[in-house]
């Protein structure tokens, strides 16, 4: 179930979720660097320009996410990106990843895929830095 993309799980005030292919690499980086706690995710996020806060949001399907990392877009302060990390409690997983579902990206305003990919790439890099595995 870990790669399940729940496309109808809406986050209030944001556009529907998107699932760029780079999310698999983000999840692998999260696992390989050990940045699986809320504290470690926040440390990595604080090193990325535009980070505003973390929270534990709930989407319209009733799922309460492990953590949401919120970022303001550099060029347009009215636009934002939220990276939602699922809980890792799918112990019946058959693909070796116990995440409940895929990481999801939500945006506010018109955010280009290039901005999303840039943010995810920076977040991956900072996961390596804060874990000492760079």
Tens-place pLDDT, residues 53-83: 999 999 999 999 999 999 998 777 789 999 9
The model's pTM is 0.90
Mean pLDDT of the 19-39 span: 88
Q: In what order do the strands lie in the sheet with 67-72?
A: 51-55, 67-72, 80-85, 104-108
Average pLDDT, the chain: 88
CA angle 89, 82, 52 (to 5 degrees): 115
pLDDT score of 1 more than 50: no
Give the 3-state DSSP-derived string for the chain, with helices as H, strands as E and coil as C. CCCCCCCCCCCCCCCCCECCCHHHHHHHHHHHHCCCCHHHHHHHHHCCCCEEEEECCECCCCCECCEEEEEECCCCCCCEEEEEECCCCCCCCCCCCCCCCCCEEEEECCCCHHHHHHHHHHHHHHHHHHHCCC
pLDDT at 2: 57
């Amino acid at each position: 179930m870990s790669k399940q993309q729940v496309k109808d799980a809406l986050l209030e005030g944001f556009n529907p979720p998107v699932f760029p292919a780079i999310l698999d690499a983000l999840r692998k980086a999260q696992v390989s660097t050990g940045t699986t706690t809320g504290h470690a995710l926040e440390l990595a996020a604080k090193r990325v320009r535009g980070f505003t806060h973390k929270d534990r949001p709930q989407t319209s399907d009733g799922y309460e996410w492990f953590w949401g990392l919120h970022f303001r877009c550099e060029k347009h302060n009215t636009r934002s990106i939220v990276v939602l990390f699922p809980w890792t409690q799918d112990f019946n997983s058959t693909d070796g990843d116990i995440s409940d579902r895929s990481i999801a990206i939500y945006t506010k305003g018109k955010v280009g895929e290039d901005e999303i990919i840039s943010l995810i790439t920076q977040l991956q890099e900072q996961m390596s830095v804060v874990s000492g595995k760079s």
